[in-house]
Amino acid sequence: MDDIYKKHSLHLTDCLNSITIQKRLSLFFVIAVFGTVLLYTLRINRMPVMSSDMTMHLTNSSTQTKQTIEIVTSRRPNQLSKYITTSGEIAHTKHSVTQWSQHITPLIQNRSIHELDVFINNLFKDDFHASHFITISFNGRLGNNIFQLAALLSCAKRINYTAIVPSNGWIHSYFLLNITYDINMTNVKTFNEEKFGKYDKDIEDLDSSSNWTLSGYYQSWKYFLMEEDLIRRSLKFKPIIYEPARQFVDNLRLNNKTIVGIHVRRGDMRELKHKMDGYATAPLRYIYKSMKYFRDRYKNTSFVICSDEIYWCKTNIRGYNDTVFSNFENPGSALAVLSLCDHVIITSGTFGWWGAWLAGGDVVYFKGYPRPGSKIDKGMCREDYYPPHWIGID
Ligand SMILES: *[C@@H]1O[C@H](CO)[C@@H](O)[C@H](O)[C@H]1NC(C)=O
Ligand SMILES: *[C@@H]1O[C@H](CO)[C@@H](O)[C@H](O)[C@H]1NC(C)=O
Ligand SMILES: *[C@@H]1O[C@H](CO)[C@@H](O)[C@H](O)[C@H]1NC(C)=O
Ligand SMILES: *[C@@H]1O[C@H](CO)[C@@H](O)[C@H](O)[C@H]1NC(C)=O
Ligand SMILES: *[C@@H]1O[C@H](CO)[C@@H](O)[C@H](O)[C@H]1NC(C)=O
Ligand SMILES: *[C@@H]1O[C@H](CO)[C@@H](O)[C@H](O)[C@H]1NC(C)=O
Ligand SMILES: *[C@@H]1O[C@H](CO)[C@@H](O)[C@H](O)[C@H]1NC(C)=O
Ligand SMILES: *[C@@H]1O[C@H](CO)[C@@H](O)[C@H](O)[C@H]1NC(C)=O
Ligand SMILES: *[C@@H]1O[C@H](CO)[C@@H](O)[C@H](O)[C@H]1NC(C)=O
């Protein structure tokens, strides 16, 4: 899933050739000194939220072509993170200050050491050495990862901890997360959610005597109820994922249409063993009914269908001249399409859930997911999973 990015990655080492050894050594020295000072000396206990951006002009040493690289360095309280992007795409992400410095060194090319010094000083002046960290272990795929991230960020904010976002997980392939911090925590306790699809109130009582790892799925809007803005701000699609989706949805907006996204989840939801547990796919009846709901409610609706089985949709959802199918195979772009719709109809699974939440309009969900009376249904709490203003239809 990372392949799309590898293509666009800059090979930073290319630039190394064009910088003198002497300059390199001096720069490493400045950075090493600064890094040491930063990592081991600063213990200022306050909450800076600062982000610095800078554009660097480079010459590609193999092709002699000029190139502009944007460096976006943004920090949440207690955290450093940095993105080096070319035309908005992540080219390189490094987690620790020292690692990052080593990677940025080749990029400074025509900048003076003094300039770099000022830059780095400004960048890290508010920094401090955090002592309380919280992380999460990513489970499942994109939709689940977003629930986990949302719970992590929101919990970290509430208890004043530094969130460490693990660098594995699906989410990094599609979102620009400026909140990654690389540290090996010691004195860690694990918080296990009691059941999935049910808000575990005990998360509100984490004590501050240790670092924490959150374990579980955290599939409830209640985990981030107080931090919706933070979650929205933190979930920025990578431009390479977002742009094609935006163009696609913009083209549907002609004639003042109200765009309703439909996420038809099938795939694994159809597997027998999953069905036994309570996973379910929505029948066509539900899809037509929910479309009617929006047609009755809004003038000039246009539907856009996203699915993990788009062929099934094309064959089965027919006879409407107001319906288009999204052919995005990249799950990030499909999620971006949903997020760009005015309203969303979902069927099953967390992926659609997040498309609907990100869109932020009316949401119709399938009451048959999970199957009422099933094992999953009995373990979860529907009120915790589905936000109260979403409309259940079966
Ligand atoms: C979080 O930490 C900051 C800085 O140390 C402090 O001002 C603030 O009161 C703390 N907030 C909570 C909820 O503990
Ligand atoms: C320099 O150009 C070559 C050839 O186009 C390319 O493969 C390489 O990634 C470029 N290096 C950088 C740092 O952009
Ligand atoms: C670096 O080079 C770019 C052009 O490639 C130029 O615009 C910029 O002013 C230069 N910066 C410095 C500090 O020399
Ligand atoms: C964390 O520990 C691992 C394994 O011991 C090590 O490879 C890694 O470099 C450490 N990371 C940091 C930031 O210390
Ligand atoms: C959390 O881990 C860090 C890094 O090992 C350590 O310095 C810090 O003391 C730990 N925090 C607590 C509250 O134990
Ligand atoms: C990064 O963090 C800043 C706050 O420090 C926030 O305003 C910005 O939206 C974030 N960007 C992304 C891509 O998450
Ligand atoms: C577009 O739709 C909005 C709301 O549905 C309506 O207020 C507006 O007047 C419409 N504009 C045109 C040009 O039809
Ligand atoms: C619906 O679309 C038609 C053209 O397709 C347009 O003339 C009409 O104003 C639109 N109605 C609304 C309420 O936007
Ligand atoms: C779409 O179909 C509806 C009825 O099914 C019809 O009233 C409308 O004119 C059609 N629109 C177009 C653009 O064909």
For residue 58, the model assigns a pLDDT of 46
What class has domain 238-393? alpha beta
Lining residues, ligand 5, CB within 6 Å: 131-133, 183-187, 210-211
In the chain, which residue ranges form alpha helices assigned H by DSSP?
Answer: 3-8, 13-16, 21-36, 97-104, 113-124, 142-159, 171-174, 228-234, 239-252, 272-277, 284-297, 310-316, 331-340, 350-359, 375-379, 382-385
Cross-strand pairs, 58:
67
- Comparing 51 with 252, the larger pLDDT belongs to 252
pLDDT grade for 37, boundaries at 50, 70 and 90: very low
Sequence spans of domains, the chain: 3-124, 133-234, 238-393
**At residue 126, does pLDDT exceed 80?**
no
Burial of residue 123, with CB atoms counted within 10 A of its CB: 0-12 exposed, 13-18 middle, 19 or more buried: buried
Q: Which ligand is closest to the CA of 176, given by its number?
A: 6
Tell me which of 132, 161, 207 to substitute to probe ligand 5's pocket, judged by most ligand atoms within 8 Å of the beta carbon.
132
In ligand 4, the atom with minimum distance to the C-alpha of 184 is 1
- Residues 6 or more apart whose CB falls under 8 angstroms from that of 242 comprise 333, 336
Cβ atoms of 140 and 215 within 8 Å: the answer is no
Q: Nearest ligand to the C-alpha of residue 99?
A: 4
Please indicate whether residue 321, judged by its CB atom, sits closer than 6 Å to ligand 8.
Answer: no
Q: Predicted confidence band at 52 (pLDDT cuts at 50, 70, 90)?
A: very low
68 — pLDDT class (breaks 50, 70, 90) = very low
Burial class (CB in 10 A: 0-12, 13-18, 19+), 296: exposed
Q: Which atom of ligand 2 is nearest to the CA of 63?
A: 2
Atom 10 of ligand 3, nearest CA residue: 110
In this predicted model, what pLDDT tens digit does every residue of 116-125 receive, in sequence order? 445 544 444 4
Ligand 2 pocket check for 11: Cβ under 6 Å: yes
Among 98, 184, 211, name the best residue to mutate to test ligand 4's pocket (greatest count of ligand atoms within 8 A of Cβ): 184
